[in-house]
Chain A
Amino acid sequence: MEMLVTALICLPFLWAILPAVIHNSKCRAFFVYLGCGIVIALSVFTAVQWFLAGGQTLNFDLPYRETFDHVILFGDLFLMCLITYLSFKYKKGVISLLAIVQTLLVAALELFGPEVEELPALRFDWLTFVMILIIGVVGSLIGIYAVGYMHGYHIHHHKELTDRRSFFLAMIFVFFGAMFGLVFSQSLIWMYFFWEITSVTSFLLIGYTRSDEAINNSFKALWMNLLGGCGIAAAIAVGILAWNTVNLYEIIDLAIAAPKALYLLPIGCLAFAALTKSAQFPFSGWLLGAMVAPTPSSALLHSATMVKAGVYLLIRISAAMADNYVGNMVALIGGFTFLAASCFAITVSDGKKVLAYSTISNLGLIVACTGCGYEETIWAAVFLVIFHAVSKSMLFQCVGAIENTTGSRDVEDMQGLMAIFPKLAVILMIGIAGMFLAPFGMLISKWAALKAFIDTSSVYVSTLMVLFICFGSATTMFYWTKWLSKILGASPKEKTRDLTKKNEYISMFFHAIMMVALILGFPWLSEHVLKPLSNDMFGTVDQVISYQNMIIMIVLLVGIFVVPCFNYFLTKGQKAKQVITYMGGANVGDNFNFVSSTGEPKEMHIANFYMDEIMGEKKLFTPAIMISTFIIIVYMIIVIGGAF
């Protein structure tokens, strides 16, 4: 097992060198495919091996632990120098200060601080199992998609940009390595190192095109994530100075045993770091800005990696957040983000931006679940993480493919996509359904989350959270349904050639199959993965959702697939007289044009509702930032103040 894990963490880092040095397009593509294939195979193999071995929690070290410790120390310093260099190069020197302070703090404590008890650096348990499958499978599929997409991106669409594909593909592999490292680490120093790598890599990926906008947005992502890094550095400092430990699980156990005073401080710092990483308000700006990067990097940041690192850490520490100030802060920020981001998603029409807001909103729900820290909510959170990773990756890839083919990613331009590009439309629909439709992830999770929030002990938090969830689900329903309704139906456009590459389709179809498998396999997943997971964390084996409700959900679930299909074939043969739609007598003869006031035919455009005046970004974005900043500051003061 040690060897497998070592390979899983180190191989992507080493493999990253290959696409970086090979500049022949065909040859490089081959090595990227091979690399992604190996990562998928390795992650699945490792996971299955561990599963078959009985799913016992393992604590272990990599071979040559000493060497790795040194590598990590030098790695930290190298990243600091890199950030400093780049931020001075682009005249944003202030940002380097964040990196210097935290890295030097960690390095100094490690070198000159009190002796720390040597414990295994890595751990393999149920949550790690879920995460490596998500990173390995979903992440690598994005890698496969990226090869074809980036080819089209440079050759057909953006000839003006410098071709830095080698760099791009190399960075994707670095990302995999860092994510694997992150989810295995139990030493906070190791985790901090991998955490910083993901921050820097995402910064480099966002700035890929080197346009002014890209550079600005990438630095925004950098400073927000570095601010989060400070949280981890602070947690390390408290751990070393107060208890001579840098072990995440020891810190969590201490906090669970005595959830007050100094014990809560590192948990608060870690939670703060996780909130920045998972792009919760007020730190949502960086994820929205990340849209400027090519689609594969958005898909990567939004689904399998980056933001999932944040929620991963929150799920880890959630048991220490049950019914205390840190938990309340996390729950309120999450709930607020769930509602606010879904309101903004209503008001935008750029497909990628809708997806970005929906990611933030969905993560808000996950974050809220972890903040509650009950068994049910962790169950719900892990389910949401799984469903969200698969469907969001699929949606981003699909919108990217639609943009390459039709030249627009605006939701308004997707009228009747079903009629012109049925394959893309079906993938889009499965993705959207996976995000919100009743029998899918959201339903089960929302059910569990609502139940848990009602039972939360703090009256204020409980009331607010219930309201956030109820209103948030209404707004979520609105923006997804209106998108869905655009896709179906007739299109005024002619059929054109589908420019989507074969490897893009392979990746997307694989996602669709995974989605369906997840839906059908959810009772199995609940029984054999999530139950042991919560057993690990809470030491109980209760069935979260009753047998009866499980049956109803399966009926709903089967219903949503079977009933429409059944009805489709039932009604297919029926004779109907085709008529044109009602336009108050102004039809030209088809459903797409009408007679205008001058007597000329004019094309009719049907637009969705956007409610810009009621909940637009212009009106509510700043207040949302202020409210969430206020919540964080107040609670952090309580937590820090309580420690001394």
Chain B
Amino acid sequence: MISSRVIIAVLYVLLAPFVIGLLDGFDRKISARMQGRKGPSVLQPFFDLKKLFEKEFLTANKTQLFMIYSYVFFIILSGVIFYAGFDLLLVVFSLSTAAMFLILASTSTHSPYSAQGTHRELVQIMSCEPMELLVAVGFYLATKTFNVSEVVANSVNSNIIYLPGFFVGFVFILTIKFRKSPFDIATSHHAHQEVIKGVTSEMVGKEYGMVTLAEWYENAILLGIVGLFFLNSNPVSFVGAIIAILVVWFLEILIDNTSARVKWQLMLKLAWGVTIVAAGMNLFLLEIIMG
């Protein structure tokens, strides 16, 4: 049991970038097809990353680099806590600590565009955090434990049947977390727009490479949480979890390609509104049922 948990955690550290990088490649391909273009090779994200690490190291403030290293470290640590099956609430706390390092890295340059992006990033974090915490609460209510490994082992049925509202809310904030349109307000894939590159504006070469890598690791955790809604003590549920992850992933691409960016005020209201309505109602009902 313990050895399998260690193996999963090690696999996460080794494989997450490849899996998520590949998903990113398919994402670009599918997006291109939706827009009537041919699109790049599915391996393009890896080529991009390689190129970033080969560039000359330019920086506006050298302290930025160590903050980014710390950011990467805490993201990976959160992932290890999650995939090794420890406390889900601590995963969320650790992720927000990591996010803080990204914020500090970005503002340390005193650059107008990265400052604007940073504050929007802060609004994004504020929009998402209640839902992330509530997901942990939901699992605790359904299974009486915050422990990821026990959540899986103790569930006879997949927890999605108790937590549909939490799932809806979580998928909603995933759009923000993945920086997908309509909530790509803190940074953008298209540097000619008003935010330039927002929070990553002043990150060049390997700094930007590290941030990309960290985001891949983070996305692996988030998709893992999506999977957790479907996992139960029966190993077959693993297939269901994979399918669910792929469906959610495709849904995010679809949303990305069919919506236009909103202002941060609207994002905050929408995210909190959905959190209160979907997760709040689910929480209330679940408390009554579990009494």
Q: In the bound complex, what is the Cα–Cα distance between A112 and B201 (angstroms)?
A: 77
A539 near B: Cβ within 8 Å?
Answer: no
Interface string of A502-521 (1 = CB under 8 A from B): 00000000000000000000
| Known contacts A574-B57, A579-B59, A580-B60; A549/B70 CB under 8 A | no
B133 / chain A contacts, CB cutoff of 8 Å: 450, 469-470, 473-474
List of A residues within 8 angstroms of B57 by Cβ: 574-577
Q: Cβ of B140: which chain A residues have Cβ within 8 Å of it?
A: 451, 454
Nearest chain-A residue to B109 (Cβ)?
Answer: A581
Q: Mark B262-290, 1 if CB is under 8 A from A, else 0.
A: 00010010001000100010011001100
Min CB distance, B166 to chain A, in Å? 12
Segment touching B, from A24-32, A73-81, A347-355, A561-569? A561-569
Q: Is the CB of B280 within 8 A of A578?
A: no
Whether A567 and B109, one on each chain, are in contact in the complex, defined by CB atoms closer than 8 angstroms, is: no
**B90-148 CB contacts (< 8 Å) to partner A:** 90, 93-94, 96-97, 100-101, 103-104, 106-115, 118-119, 122-123, 125-130, 133-134, 136-137, 140-141, 146
- Tell me whether A67 is interfacial, beta carbon within 8 Å: no
> For residue A475, which residue of chain B has the nearest CB?
B126
- Would A462 and B287 count as touching, CB distance under 8 A? yes
Question: In this assembly, does B24 line the interface, its C-beta being within 8 Å of a C-beta of chain A?
Answer: no
- Residues of A with C-beta under 8 A to B137: 450, 454, 466, 470
Chain B proximity of A545: nearest CB distance (Å): 10
Contact residues of A between 570 and 605, Cβ < 8 Å to B:
570-571, 574-584, 591-592, 594, 604
B74 CB within 8 Å of chain A: yes
B284 A459 Cβ-Cβ under 8 A: yes
* A55: chain B residues within 8 A (beta carbon): none
Q: In the docked arrangement, what's the CA distance between A555 and B202, Å?
A: 31
Please report the C-alpha to C-alpha distance between residue A570 and residue B276 in the assembled complex, in whole angstroms. Answer: 44
In the complex, are the beta carbons of A488 and B107 less than 8 A apart? yes
A552 on the interface (CB 8 Å rule)? yes
Chain B nearest CB from A413 CB (Å) reads: 14
Question: Quick one: which of B58, B122, B280, B287 contacts A576, CB cutoff 8 A?
Answer: B58
Q: Which residues of B contact A473 (CB under 8 A)?
A: 129-130, 133
Q: A470-B134, A578-B59 are in contact. Are A571 and B69 (CB under 8 A)?
A: yes
- What are the residues of chain B within 8 A of A553 when measuring CB–CB? 90
CA of A478 to CA of B146, assembled, Å: 25
Mark out the residues of chain B between 49 and 77 whose CB falls within 8 Å of any chain A CB in the assembled complex.
56-63, 65-67, 69-70, 73-74, 77
A619 located at the interface, meaning its Cβ lies under 8 Å from any Cβ of chain B in the complex? no
Please determine whether A614 and B122 come into contact, CB atoms closer than 8 angstroms. no
Contact B288 A567, beta carbon cutoff 8 Å:
no
Kindly list chain A residues whose C-beta atoms are within 8 Å of the C-beta of B108: 485, 488-490
The CB with the most chain B CB atoms within 10 A, among A478, A484, A555, A564, is that of A564
User: How far is the CB of B6 from the nearest CB of chain A, in Å?
Assistant: 14
| Contacts known (A447-B89, A477-B96, A549-B87); A485 close to B107, Cβ less than 8 A | yes
A434 → chain B, closest Cβ, in Å?
14
Residue tally, chain A, CB below 8 Å to B: 65
The distance in angstroms between the C-alpha atoms of A516 and B265, with both chains bound, is: 38
Closest to A549 in B: B87
Indicate if the CB atoms of A489 and B126 lie closer than 8 Å: no
Q: Let me know if B196 is at the binding interface, CB within 8 A.
A: yes
Contact of A471 with B287 in the complex, beta carbons under 8 Å: no
CB-defined contacts of A556 to chain B, threshold 8 Å? 77, 90, 93-94, 97
Q: Is B111's CB under 8 angstroms from A459's CB?
A: no
Using Cβ atoms and an 8 Å threshold, which residues of chain B touch A604? Answer: 112
A437 near B111 with CB under 8 A, answer no
How many interface residues does chain B have, given as a range? 35 or more
Contact of A481 with B by CB under 8 A = yes
State in angstroms the CA–CA spacing of A560 and B61 once bound together. Answer: 21
Q: In the complex, A579 Cα to B59 Cα: how many Å?
A: 6
Question: Given the interface contacts A459-B287, A579-B58, A609-B122, does A416 sit within 8 Å of B110 by beta carbon?
Answer: yes
- Given A466-B137, A571-B65, the answer on whether A485 and B93 have CB atoms closer than 8 Å is no
Question: Which residue of chain A is the closest to B127 with respect to CB atoms?
Answer: A474
Q: Which of A443, A552, A567, A591 makes the CB contact (< 8 A) with B66?
A: A567
Contacts of A560 in B (CB 8 A): 97
Q: Report the minimum CB–CB distance from B101 to chain A (whole Å).
A: 8
User: Which residues of chain B are within 8 angstroms of A437 by Cβ–Cβ distance?
Assistant: 97, 100
A227, CB-defined interface residue at 8 Å: no
Residue of B61, B63, B126 touching A474 (CB-CB under 8 A): B126
Name the residue among B81, B100, B265, B276 with the largest chain A CB count within 10 angstroms. Answer: B100
Known: A474-B129, A488-B104. A563 touches B73 (CB 8 A): yes
Across-interface contacts of B196 in A (CB, < 8 A):
582, 584
Q: A567 is contacted by which of B69, B122, B136 (Cβ under 8 Å)?
A: B69
Q: Contacts A438-B96, A563-B73, A576-B57 given: A581-B110 contact, CB under 8 Å?
A: yes
Q: Are B110's CB and A490's CB within 8 A?
A: yes
Cα of A486 to Cα of B103 in the assembled complex, Å: 10
A-side contacts of B77, CB under 8 Å: 555-556, 559
| Interface presence of B291 (CB below 8 A) | yes
A466, A475, A553, A614: most-surrounded residue (chain B CB, <10 A): A466
Given A574-B65, A583-B111, A478 contacting B125 (CB threshold 8 A): yes
Q: CB < 8 Å: which of A451, A481, A579 contacts B122?
A: A481
Once the chains bind, are B66 and A564 in contact (CB under 8 Å)? yes
Contact with A along B79-93 (1 / 0, CB 8 A): 001000011011001
Q: Is the CB of A463 within 8 A of B280?
A: yes
Q: Is residue A116 within 8 Å, beta carbon to beta carbon, of the partner chain? A: no
B residues near A438, Cβ cutoff 8 Å: 93-94, 96-97
What's the nearest-Cβ distance from chain A to residue B89, in Å? 6
Contact A470 B129 (CB under 8 A): yes
Question: Which B-chain residue is minimally distant from A590 (CB atoms)?
Answer: B110
**Complex Cα spacing A596 to B114, Å:** 19
Q: Within 8 Å of chain B (Cβ to Cβ): is A53?
A: no
- List CB contacts (< 8 Å) of B217-237 with chain A: none
Q: Does B283 lie within 8 Å of A478, measured CB to CB?
A: no
Residue of A nearest to B93 (CB): A438
A622 touches B (CB below 8 Å) = no
Most B C-beta atoms less than 10 A away, residue of A438, A469, A577:
A438
The 0/1 profile, CB within 8 Å of A marked 1, for residues 168-210 of chain B is 0000000000000000000000000000100001101000000
Closest chain A residue to B136, Cβ basis: A450
Q: Using CB atoms, name the residue of chain A closest to B72.
A: A567
| Nearest-Cβ distance from residue B269 to partner chain A, whole angstroms | 8
Contact of B268 among A466, A467, A614 (CB under 8 A): A614
Q: Contact between A474 and B283 (Cβ–Cβ < 8 Å)?
A: no
**A residues adjacent to B (C-beta < 8 A):** 415-416, 437-439, 443, 446-447, 450-451, 454, 459, 462-463, 466-467, 469-471, 473-475, 477-478, 481-482, 484-486, 488-490, 548-549, 552-553, 555-556, 559-560, 563-564, 567-568, 570-571, 574-584, 591-592, 594, 604, 606, 608-609, 614
Known: A438-B94, A559-B74, A592-B110. 13 other contacts (CB 8 A): A447-B89, A450-B133, A459-B284, A463-B287, A467-B280, A470-B133, A474-B129, A560-B97, A564-B70, A574-B65, A576-B62, A581-B113, A583-B111
Q: Report B's interface with A, CB cutoff 8 A.
A: 56-63, 65-67, 69-70, 73-74, 77, 81, 86-87, 89-90, 93-94, 96-97, 100-101, 103-104, 106-115, 118-119, 122-123, 125-130, 133-134, 136-137, 140-141, 146, 196, 201-202, 204, 265, 268, 272, 276, 280, 283-284, 287-288, 291
Nearest 10 A/B pairs, CB to CB:
A581-B111, A438-B97, A474-B129, A485-B107, A567-B66, A567-B69, A470-B130, A489-B108, A470-B133, A571-B65
* 18 A-B pairs with C-beta separation under 8 A: A437-B97, A438-B93, A447-B93, A451-B146, A459-B291, A467-B280, A470-B129, A474-B129, A488-B104, A490-B61, A549-B86, A549-B90, A556-B93, A556-B97, A577-B57, A583-B111, A584-B113, A591-B111
